[in-house]
Amino acid sequence: MQRRWLKRLALPLFGLLVFAAPTLLGGSGAVYSAAVLIAIFAVMAYGLDVIVSDLGEVSLAHPVFFAVGSYTTAWLSTRAGLGSWATLAATIVVALLFAAAIGLVTLRLREFVFSLVTYAVGVVAITVASNWAFLGGSDGIRGIPLLDLSVGGLQLSARNDRELWPYAFALLAVTVYLIDRFRRSLLGAAAIMVHLNPRLATMAGTDPARVRLQVFLFSAPISAAAGWLYAYQRAYVSADVLENYFLILMLTAVVLIGRRQLLGPLIATAMVLVQEKFFSLGGNVDKIVLGAVLIVILGFFPQGLMGLLQPLRRLLQRGR
Amino acid sequence: MNLTQQLINGLVLGHAYALVAIGWTLLLGVARLVNFGHGQMYMLGAFVTWWAVVKAGVPYALALPIAMAIGALFGLLMQRVMLKATFEQNLVSIMIMTLGFGYVLQGGAALVFGSTGQILDTALSRSEIKLGELWLTQQDLAIVLVAIAVFVGLKWLLDGTRIGRLVRMVAEDPKLAQLAGVNVRRVYYGVFAFEGAAVAFAAGMVAPRTPILTSMGFEEVIMTFVVVVLGGIGSVTGSYVAGVALGLFTALFGALVSPAYTTAACFLVLIAVLVLRPGGLGAGSTAGVH
Amino acid sequence: MSGALLQVRDLQVDYAGNRAVDVRMLSVSRGEMVGVVGANGAGKSTLVNALIGWSRGDPVVRGEVELSGQRITAWSAHQRVRAGLALVPEGRLVFGRMTVEDNLSTAFAPKASAGQRVYSRDDIFELFPRLLERRQHLGSQLSGGERQMLGIGRALMMGPQLLLLDEPSIGLAPMLVSQVLQTLRKLAASGLAILLVEQNVRAALEVVDRLVLLERGRVVLEGPAAQMGSDPRIAQAYLGAHA
């Protein structure tokens, strides 16, 4: 009984710790900046996590959803003067539209064709974002206003990364909660079934294609919401939000700790960004390191870092 | 716009597309593997050729085999790391690993070759052939001739030789091929080495046409993907025809509509085909190479 | 004991902690035809996979498998084939997209060993004239019986010392089953060792020298075909329903 209470408290306690972390680590601008980015990129990765870990497919389109979130927010806030809540709502809607289009086209195709199509969408998106004047062309969209979620008389705005942190944390917390709920839901269970044994799933009355589409639709707005916040954080958006850095980062975040670990993407994103921000070896070497980490994990430690802990855990249990 | 000139451009472009895609055709058809590092391997081939010719003063005809050798070695390395995943047909891992390899190449190439664009000039690319008002470079002509030769050669290899028969066995059913005494692992290595060498060769031949950057390669993957899928996965002849057709389409679209969005247009063509006639790409269809 | 072509000792195959096969002793000699029978799930196919070296799904294999005194336990499938072990698998018999002629080709040049015959393509056509008639047809165009013949022919071209067959009678009409098994009997008579895994116990009993009954991965009964045919356990479980 005691253990169950401890488990129930563990996650919220950890959440409090994470929230206080930037202050505990010195509270400097750089720390808050890193924390906000970690939160944003982790949320971006959680969208992909659901597809890769639960559904078992490789979607290379989530960077596009992230970009869709950023561009929608940028455009609507600068050209149409919409507030932050409105841009968030619009982000979710546009992300769903994109996901629906991609999902319906690839509905009955083989998994690797799905991956190729999503990859192609990403590449085409870069071309469009860099060339289309509507989206600012190669200059992008600048002058995005500050995040302002004020409602009623409550002032909820952020002028810098330090003030942005509570909102970034809130987005992260909501995302983790949603992922957890998804994994406990019927759709989550169906996703696993479709992943592990599509034929069995069909015989159990589940339509794998529909499940794939639904999970895809669930995951897209998550990555897009990360893009929404990113636009406010950077105050400008350009085609470099579609660089394959984000894709590689997301993939690493999903596989580094282990599949289907609730806090995996968060911890992994933190590890990568801390290396990048505080222990960088130069942009290109960092790329080599990140790519190499992805290869080594999948090639030699497919269970992720958690897999390394398994034998250790077994040793500890036996000792008890 | 001179239509005939565009058709010539299109033919050259098409043969280039087909040549770049040949490694993928074999890789996908025989080993059912998707190599997302293809674009970066193309970039590597282009830069190795450039470095050999421009920086090391090696004759072009020697630079190509050097690039091919490095490409083949990289392919072997990739397959060695992905061996377990290949045998388990763990496509998710393979796809992500190839993305990782591509990213490593990107960083590595930028480190070694720098981030500025370079031009690979060869004697062939500088010399033009004029037919009245129409023109193309000798490099362009070489691309067409070489592409045809490679395709014919590969088809003959697959259909008419013992090695080709073994490769077709592995393509259709690797387990049954083992029962015929085929060392399937060696075939997979061979196919990946071929992909590495072929894409490097294609890069060496085609790169003189445009400036090369260490950030390039993504569009090449899309075009290769479209060529292979439109031509029929594993079909050597199909890839050739699809490549040439796509080249003509690209040239005409670029001239008539917009040069910046040609890749996007090709991708839309592919989507249209996928939606209307999924054919051999629906779930559950088998591969093979022919 | 010695002189046996195939010698299996303490073979244990575990899948995710479950023991699928636990065979203490199994041997096949030159010119001998041994039948392995048992119900579905008894471990017959797992045994065959372990013998040929197919490790689907990461099983843990322990024990020893020896071919002509050589330890092949750690060898990969294609190495065992080159050493003289051939398998006619269940279900995947031919390369559907290749012609009969192409199907009957080898990846290596089998050596004639200890009086063991190396079958050429023409030899196979002599053995199965039907295949000669259909030599340019694709594997996918053959009937069930023709595929079985092609599967056996393909395996024979490997010049095996031991031929493994996994349920050759599946999907075949009784007359064809009889034909195929009689052909195997003839091959055994010429010195080929054969291990036949079969569900159709009645048919197997007609051609094999020895019968082995597998239950839950263990050998529960073993003996000459003549004795086994009248053994109540076999009769009850497998022949009773067809009596």
8 Å CB contact of C54 and B178: yes
pLDDT digits (tens, 9 = 90+) for B158-203: 988 989 999 999 999 888 999 999 999 999 999 999 999 999 999 9
Q: Which of A50, A98, A112 to mutate to test the interface with B (most CBs of B within 10 A)?
A: A112
pLDDT digits (tens, 9 = 90+) for A298-311: 999 888 888 887 77
8 Å CB contact of A127 and B104: no
User: Chain B residues with CB-CB distance to A under 8 A?
Assistant: 34, 36, 81-82, 84-85, 91-93, 95-97, 99-104, 106-108, 110-111, 218-219, 221-222, 225-226, 229, 260-261, 263-264, 267, 270-271, 274-275, 278, 281-285
Nearest to C195 by CA among C91, C24, C51, C74: C51
Q: B3-281 domain in CATH 1.10.3470?
A: yes
- Label residue C113 left, alpha or beta by phi (over 0 means left) and psi (-120 to 50 means alpha): beta
pLDDT digits (tens, 9 = 90+) for A246-266: 999 999 999 999 888 899 999
Give the residue from chain B lying closest to A118, CA to CA: B222
Give me the helices (H) in chain C, please: 44-52, 77-83, 100-103, 121-127, 129-133, 144-156, 174-189, 201-207, 225-229, 232-234
8 Å CB contact of A123 and B218: yes
| Confidence category of residue C242, pLDDT binned at 50, 70, 90 | very low
| Confidence category of residue C243, pLDDT binned at 50, 70, 90 | very low
Phi, psi of A307 (to 5 degrees): -60, -30
Residue with tokens 């070694």: B112
User: Is the confidence at residue C192, as pLDDT, over 80?
Assistant: yes
Q: Which of C51, C75, C79, C98 to mutate to test the interface with B (most CBs of B within 10 A)?
A: C98
Are the CB atoms for C10 and C62 separated by under 8 Å?
yes
Phi, psi of B203 (to 5 degrees): -60, -45
pLDDT at C240: 53
Residue, of B179 and C40, whose pLDDT is higher: B179
Count of CB atoms within 10 A of residue A22's CB?
22
Q: How far is the C-alpha of C168 from the C-alpha of C196, rounded, in Å?
A: 8
Closest CB to C98: pick one of B168, B178, B179: B168
pLDDT digits (tens, 9 = 90+) for C114-172: 556 788 899 999 989 989 999 999 999 999 889 999 999 999 998 899 999 999 888 88
Are the CB atoms for C183 and C107 separated by under 8 Å?
no
Residues of chain B in contact with residue A286, where contact means CB-CB under 8 angstroms, are 107
Residue, of A202 and C78, whose pLDDT is higher: C78
User: Is the confidence at residue C238, as pLDDT, over 70?
Assistant: no
Q: How far is the C-alpha of C168 from the C-alpha of C50, rounded, in Å?
A: 18
Instruction: Count, in order, helices (H) and strands (E) of chain C.
Output: 10, 10
pLDDT digits (tens, 9 = 90+) for A116-159: 899 999 999 998 998 888 888 888 888 888 888 887 777 788 88
Residues of chain B in contact with residue A109, where contact means CB-CB under 8 angstroms, are 274, 278, 281-283
| Summary mean pLDDT of chain A | 89
Burial of C115 from C-beta contacts in 10 A (0-12 / 13-18 / 19+): exposed
Q: Which of C55, C95, C98, C164 to mutate to test the interface with B (most CBs of B within 10 A)?
A: C95
Domain layout of chain C by residue ranges: 4-242
Q: How far is the C-alpha of A271 from the C-alpha of A294, rounded, in Å?
A: 13
Are the CB atoms for B111 and A288 separated by under 8 Å?
yes
pLDDT at C241: 46
Nearest to C22 by CA among C34, C9, C35, C31: C9
pLDDT digits (tens, 9 = 90+) for B57-87: 899 999 999 999 999 999 999 999 999 898 8
Residues of chain B in contact with residue C92, where contact means CB-CB under 8 angstroms, are 173, 175-176
8 Å CB contact of C107 and B168: no
Burial of A304 from C-beta contacts in 10 A (0-12 / 13-18 / 19+): buried
Percent of chain B with pLDDT over 70: 96
In this complex, does chain A touch chain C, defined as having at least 3 beta-carbon pairs under 8 Å apart? no
Q: How far is the C-alpha of C27 from the C-alpha of C195, rounded, in Å?
A: 9
3-state secondary structure of C27: strand
8 Å CB contact of C97 and B178: no
3-state secondary structure of B103: helix
| Confidence category of residue C113, pLDDT binned at 50, 70, 90 | low
Q: With residue B31 as reference, give the H or E element that holds it.
A: helix B3-31
pLDDT digits (tens, 9 = 90+) for B10-37: 999 999 999 999 999 999 999 889 999 9
Residues of chain A in contact with residue B97, where contact means CB-CB under 8 angstroms, are 294-295, 298-299
User: Is the confidence at residue A319, as pLDDT, over 70?
Assistant: no
* A10 contact partners, CB below 8 Å, separation of at least 6: none
User: Is the confidence at residue C211, as pLDDT, over 60?
Assistant: yes
User: Is the confidence at residue B239, as pLDDT, over 60?
Assistant: yes
pLDDT digits (tens, 9 = 90+) for B192-232: 999 999 999 999 999 988 889 998 999 899 999 999 989 98
Closest CB to A291: pick one of B85, B104, B222: B104
Residues of chain B in contact with residue C151, where contact means CB-CB under 8 angstroms, are none
Residue with tokens 């979620």: A149
pLDDT digits (tens, 9 = 90+) for A221-244: 999 999 999 999 998 899 889 999
Give the residue from chain A lying closest to B79, CA to CA: A299
Q: How far is the C-alpha of C165 from the C-alpha of C23, rounded, in Å?
A: 18
Instruction: Report the length, in residues, of chain B.
Output: 290
Q: How far is B106 from chain C (nearest CA, A)?
A: 35
Closest CB to B103: pick one of A56, A131, A244: A244
Structure tokens at B9: 């451009």
pLDDT at C1: 41
Count of CB atoms within 10 A of residue B132's CB?
6
User: Is the confidence at residue A287, as pLDDT, over 90?
Assistant: yes
**Chain centre to alpha carbon of residue B180:** 31
Here the ipTM equals 0.90
Q: A29-319 domain in CATH 1.20.1250?
A: no
| Summary mean pLDDT of chain B | 90
Q: Which of A107, A242, A243, A244 to mutate to test the interface with B (most CBs of B within 10 A)?
A: A244
Which of B137-170 are b and which e, b meaning 16 or more Cβ less than 10 Å from the residue's Cβ?
bebbbbbbebbeebbeebeeebeeeeebbbbbbb
User: Chain C residues with CB-CB distance to B under 8 A?
Assistant: 52, 54, 76-78, 81-82, 86-87, 89, 92, 94-98, 102, 105-108, 154-155, 158
Are the CB atoms for A141 and A215 separated by under 8 Å?
no
Structure tokens at B78: 């990739």
Tell me the pTM: 0.89
Q: With residue C215 as reference, give the H or E element that holds it.
A: strand C210-215
Q: What is the CA radius of gyration of chain A?
A: 20
Which of 215-244 (A) contact B at CB < 8 A? 244
Structure tokens at B272: 């249209």
User: Is the confidence at residue B282, as pLDDT, over 70?
Assistant: no
User: Is the confidence at residue C106, as pLDDT, over 70?
Assistant: yes
Residues of chain B in contact with residue A247, where contact means CB-CB under 8 angstroms, are 99
Tell me whether B105 touches chain C (CB under 8 Å): no
Hey, what amino acid is at C206? E
pLDDT at B280: 56
CATH of domain C4-242: 3.40.50.300
Structure tokens at B122: 């060869």
**Dihedral sign for Cα atoms in the order B205, B206, B209, B213:** negative
Residue, of B131 and C45, whose pLDDT is higher: C45
Q: What is the mean pLDDT of residues B262-274?
A: 90
Q: What is the mean pLDDT of residues C79-108?
A: 89
8 Å CB contact of C107 and B290: no
| Confidence category of residue A216, pLDDT binned at 50, 70, 90 | very high
Burial of A214 from C-beta contacts in 10 A (0-12 / 13-18 / 19+): middle
Strands of C18-29's sheet in order across: C70-71, C60-67, C4-15, C18-29, C218-224, C210-215, C33-37, C193-198, C162-166, C85-88
**Dihedral sign for Cα atoms in the order C11, C16, C18, C20:** negative
Residues of chain B in contact with residue C97, where contact means CB-CB under 8 angstroms, are 168, 172, 288, 290
Q: How far is the C-alpha of C213 from the C-alpha of C35, rounded, in Å?
A: 8
Q: How far is the C-alpha of A205 from the C-alpha of B7, rounded, in Å?
A: 53
pLDDT digits (tens, 9 = 90+) for A47-82: 999 999 998 889 999 999 999 999 999 999 998 888
pLDDT at A161: 86
User: Is the confidence at residue C76, as pLDDT, over 60?
Assistant: yes
Q: What is the mean pLDDT of residues C198-209?
A: 88
Give me the helices (H) in B52-137, please: 60-81, 83-87, 91-113, 123-126
What is the DSSP code string of A148-217?
A: E--BTTB--EESSHHHHHHHHHHHHHHHHHHHHHHHHSHHHHHHHHHHH-HHHHHHTT--HHHHHHHHHH
Work out whether strand C210-215 and strand C218-224 pair parallel, antiparallel, or are unpaired: antiparallel
| Confidence category of residue C2, pLDDT binned at 50, 70, 90 | very low
8 Å CB contact of B97 and A299: yes
Rounding to the nearest 10 degrees, give the CA dihedral for residues B44, B48, B54, B57: 180
Span of A22-36, B202-216, B218-232, C52-66 with lowest mean pLDDT: C52-66
Instruction: Report the length, in residues, of chain C.
Output: 243
8 Å CB contact of B100 and A295: yes
Are the CB atoms for B22 and B152 separated by under 8 Å?
no
8 Å CB contact of A120 and B267: yes
| Confidence category of residue B281, pLDDT binned at 50, 70, 90 | low
User: Is the confidence at residue A286, as pLDDT, over 50?
Assistant: yes
Domain layout of chain B by residue ranges: 3-281
Are the CB atoms for A118 and A247 separated by under 8 Å?
no
Provide the greatest CA pair distance for chain B.
60
